[in-house]
Structure 1
Amino acid sequence: MSELGPSPLAAGDKNLSVAEARAAIAASLTPIAGDETVDLPEALGRVLAQDLLSPIDVPAHDNSAMDGYAFDGALLRDDAPLDLPVQGTVYAGQPFAGVPDRLAALRIMTGAVMPPGHDTVVPQELASAGDGRVRIEPGAVRRGDNRRRRGEDLSAGRPALHAGRLLRPADMGLIASLGIESVRVRRRLRVALFSTGDELRSPGQALDAGCVYDSNRSSLRAALQRLGVEVVDLGLVPDDPAALQATLEQAIAQADAVLTSGGVSVGEADHTRALLARLGEVAFWKVAMRPGRPFAFGPLRAADGGPRWLFALPGNPVAALVTFYVFAREALLQLAGATPQPLPVLRARSVAPIRKRPGRTEFQRAVVSPGTEGWQVQTTGTQGAGILRSMSEANALLVLGHEQGSVAAGEFVDVWLFDGLA
């Protein structure tokens, strides 16, 4: 056993299920160390490093949830209307300056501080006002209605957000509402990315006979950017042991994780397996899934003794992106220190029958749309692993489980929305 410990799952030639592979990856990973303080405008998409405690009560005072009239709810009666003089008006940001009369109402605006002794607000549309008085009919409101209590959203000293939170736009507003201008976040995860293959060319280069443009790096780089990680793009690497070793060593020195697509994932060449054995303990897996069966994962040894995790994806463009979503996306968020969140799954009716044999998980490119009986889904057509256009046309992955068989038209199926994978 090396200093890195045993391989996460030395599968050998065994076909792993998607669930087994995902579980093995999750069990292997520990979040990276390191954090920093950033100003609030820079915090979107970052992972909160510690619980964020509220320095104030939210709201900071009892206030009105409506434009209307504030009064003492104890005056309400079930058998008679309430008719009160209107003493004045209370505006948001301008507490009532006088002494409220318990037997009078006050015109009040949304967000204004509730005057002492006034615990209820009748919305203006439920009251009759005129000649300096307001009339409230029986049953229009109950005592305490339309009053937001001090601290009902957050009380001072309590966590507003917990460590591990991947900060979203609404969180930015919440933090700002507490008067906090900077937050402590985990440092950004650094992911090195490269594609392997003698046949690959970068966009802008001449396309020699038998060659193709590398699309994987562009799609995977975009997927990484949506996770908020720092991408170290190491370009194209030829099918050459020395070049591969040099690139992997560069990746290990510069990043926390390494994401590749192409030949390194297949592991058929002895030099590839031997190289990865020298650099770490990468396991080559045959995963029972379509597309994306060949996949490699494991730790590479860094000079500081810590692991640099390798995710080696298939070379086919669709397979590369699907295996990224299935295996790498949540793992990278886990490495970044984000609290794991179950992936949202939509249930939709299949528009057409789908052929499928049990014993593997299938991810089909699909389009989800509203139907007459709720959400419906249909595939984009031919599902070849190299047809990237179908991935671009789709807005979701239709997921057929390991033990699931063929699907009849009208049956419900699981769907991963691409926007949910961001």
Structure 2
Amino acid sequence: MTKPPMLTAQQALEHLLKNAHAVVESEKVPMQAALSRVLAQDVNSLVDVPPLDNTSMDGYAVRSADIAAAGAILTVAQRIPAGSVGTFLEPGTAARIFTGAPVPEGADAVVMQEDCTSVPDQSNQVQINIAPMTGQWVRRRGEDLSAGKTALLAGTFLRPQELGVAASAGHTHLEVKRRVKVAAFFTGDELSLPGEPLKLGGIYNSNRDTLLACLRSLGCDATDLGIVPDRLEATRATLREASRDHDLIITSGGVSVGEEDHIKPAVTAEGRLDLWQIAIKPGKPLAFGAVRKSNDPTDGEAWFIGLPGNPVSCFVTFLLFVRPFILKLQGRTVEPMPSYPMRADFNWLKADRRNEFLRVKINAQGGLDLFPNQSSGVLTSASWGDGLVDCPPGQAILVGEMVKYIPFSALLS
């Protein structure tokens, strides 16, 4: 029987995203509880920001018409610190003013203090050493936000800077999508948790901490269901447990075709499954499907994604496929994979028929160095590296050539 052709990374991603739909439930939370959440409603500004014209510099508020040329001397008639409001600025006078303070009515420019000189023996006079332009160092009322203007759009992932914008707009609480609920479990009788005695022939489970950290970095509500024995019934029971209260189930390991790989028959029995061969390296096998929440079809399904067990394969396939799937479940916009042209300071002569993702590091010369061991089991390559080189199928890389660089920093938020 002829095997179906392997999917490209783009084909696999398109199929995943076609099936993902954003969660609809939302809740109102205090500002500091909204970090790493997704806005469910637009946020409109309740006030003008800034509320009045104000100065962006310490200096003197003036009428530009009073200073036809550098060297004009004005009487300092008032002092306006931040948080105070001055009086009308009379012709021929200046106001000592400090950053953030409202510009008094009548003034149309601010001269920073470095361009001014106190007049000797005249404590209430100042010499203006430049001819200011109208509007100089003045931040206009509402130039950042005007009352009623949309400050943040629904679907925005809330970082610290977005929380600052919402606060400046006068908000204390935000309506956000509920967190996407993801259950993760790990298969393999060879696995032990760090801190436990390592059995003969066993390894510590690194994928658990990698995947749970990835999920939490995306703002998911992640549940760790632990290591599941390599038994069909145990795998089925864990799938049933995971499906009840979660939107997505993720596993690592057990998605090949060996006698001890029980994910495929277990998911098939509890729901439906596609087992894909994707033309990428690392990370060839990937499983996608769904698990019934109960025997009642109206209760719906939890999505299922099975990742490879090798640590680098697991990490890379999460970044390439699971991350964008979760973004869409969250209601976020899924942008194309970010990549930048950079110079390769290495040779990669072993061109593969698959699309390779090589672990690299930016060097002091602004080029990319290659980790010497690109095995899918060498997780230190991902810790050492700053990102991936997206190497097309059948393509070698020579020193000095430009390559597509994908930074890890863009794939973990």
Question: Structure 1 length normalisation: TM-score?
Answer: 0.89
Whole-Å separation in 1 of the counterparts to 2:70 and 2:333: 55
Task: Find 2:107's aligned residue among 95, 109, 118.
Answer: 118
CA contact (8 A) 1:196 1:238 kept: yes
Tell me by how many angstroms 1:253 deviates. 0.7
Of stretches 201-210 and 331-340 in structure 1, the one that deviates more from structure 2 is: 201-210
Amino acid at match of 1:18: A
State how many pairs are aligned.
Answer: 403
**1:9-20 residue pairs with structure 2 within 5 A?**
13-20=4-11
Equivalence for 2:77:
87
Task: Find 1:331's aligned residue among 316, 325, 329.
Answer: 325
Equivalence for 1:364:
358
Tell me by how many angstroms 1:234 deviates. 0.9
CA contact (8 A) 2:311 2:379 kept: yes
Q: Does 1:133 align with 2:125?
A: yes
CA contact (8 A) 1:362 1:399 kept: yes
Equivalence for 1:166:
157
Equivalence for 2:47:
56
Amino acid at match of 2:409: D
Q: Does 1:257 align with 2:248?
A: yes
Tell me by how many angstroms 1:63 deviates. 0.4
Amino acid at match of 1:111: G
Sequence identity percentage: 38
**1:141-220 residue pairs with structure 2 within 5 A?**
141-220=132-211
Equivalence for 1:347:
341
Which structure 1 segments of 5+ residues have no match? 1-11
Whole-Å separation in 2 of the counterparts to 1:267 and 1:282: 14
Instruction: Give 3-state SS (helix, strand or coil) of 2:272's partner.
Output: coil
Amino acid at match of 2:284: R
Alignment deviations for residues 212-261 of structure 1 (CA, whole Å, 9 cap, x no partner)? 22211121111111112111111111222111111111111121101101
Whole-Å separation in 2 of the counterparts to 1:401 and 1:108: 60
Amino acid at match of 1:110: T
Equivalence for 1:100:
89
Alignment deviations for residues 77-134 of structure 1 (CA, whole Å, 9 cap, x no partner)? 3x665332221211110111x4421321111111111101111111111223322323
**1:61-76 residue pairs with structure 2 within 5 A?**
61-76=52-67
Pick closer, same or farther for the CA change 1:299–1:82 going to 2, 3 Å: farther
Instruction: Give 3-state SS (helix, strand or coil) of 1:282's partner.
Output: strand
Q: Does 1:241 align with 2:228?
A: no
Tell me by how many angstroms 1:62 deviates. 0.5
Pick closer, same or farther for the CA change 1:82–1:359 going to 2, 3 Å: farther
CA contact (8 A) 1:13 1:285 kept: no
Tell me by how many angstroms 1:376 deviates. 1.5
Whole-Å separation in 1 of the counterparts to 2:390 and 2:263: 32
Tell me by how many angstroms 1:411 deviates. 1.8
Whole-Å separation in 2 of the counterparts to 1:34 and 1:47: 11
Whole-Å separation in 1 of the counterparts to 2:262 and 2:167: 54
Whole-Å separation in 2 of the counterparts to 1:328 and 1:370: 32
Amino acid at match of 2:328: Q
Whole-Å separation in 1 of the counterparts to 2:336 and 2:67: 48
Whole-Å separation in 2 of the counterparts to 1:149 and 1:99: 17
Q: Does 1:295 align with 2:277?
A: no
Alignment deviations for residues 173-197 of structure 1 (CA, whole Å, 9 cap, x no partner)? 2222233221111111111101112
Pick closer, same or farther for the CA change 1:344–1:76 going to 2, 3 Å: farther
Whole-Å separation in 2 of the counterparts to 1:193 and 1:148: 50
Tell me by how many angstroms 1:314 deviates. 0.4
Equivalence for 1:266:
256
Whole-Å separation in 2 of the counterparts to 1:358 and 1:75: 74
Aligned-residue CA RMSD in angstroms? Answer: 2.1
Amino acid at match of 1:17: T
Tell me by how many angstroms 1:420 deviates. 2.4
Tell me by how many angstroms 1:297 deviates. 1.4
Amino acid at match of 1:332: I
Amino acid at match of 1:27: K
Relative contact order higher in (CA < 8 Å, ≥ 6 apart): 1
Tell me by how many angstroms 1:284 deviates. 1.1
Tell me by how many angstroms 1:397 deviates. 1.9
Whole-Å separation in 2 of the counterparts to 1:224 and 1:274: 26
Equivalence for 1:46:
37
Whole-Å separation in 1 of the counterparts to 2:397 and 2:117: 60
Amino acid at match of 1:421: L
Whole-Å separation in 1 of the counterparts to 2:167 and 2:362: 36
Whole-Å separation in 2 of the counterparts to 1:149 and 1:194: 55
CA contact (8 A) 1:267 1:284 kept: no
Amino acid at match of 1:15: M
Amino acid at match of 1:101: E
Whole-Å separation in 1 of the counterparts to 2:108 and 2:364: 45
Equivalence for 1:6:
none
Amino acid at match of 2:184: L
Equivalence for 1:307:
301
Tell me by how many angstroms 1:290 deviates. 0.4
Pick closer, same or farther for the CA change 1:273–1:201 going to 2, 3 Å: same
Whole-Å separation in 2 of the counterparts to 1:280 and 1:262: 19
Whole-Å separation in 2 of the counterparts to 1:412 and 1:379: 14
Instruction: Give 3-state SS (helix, strand or coil) of 1:16's partner.
Output: coil
Tell me by how many angstroms 1:402 deviates. 4.3
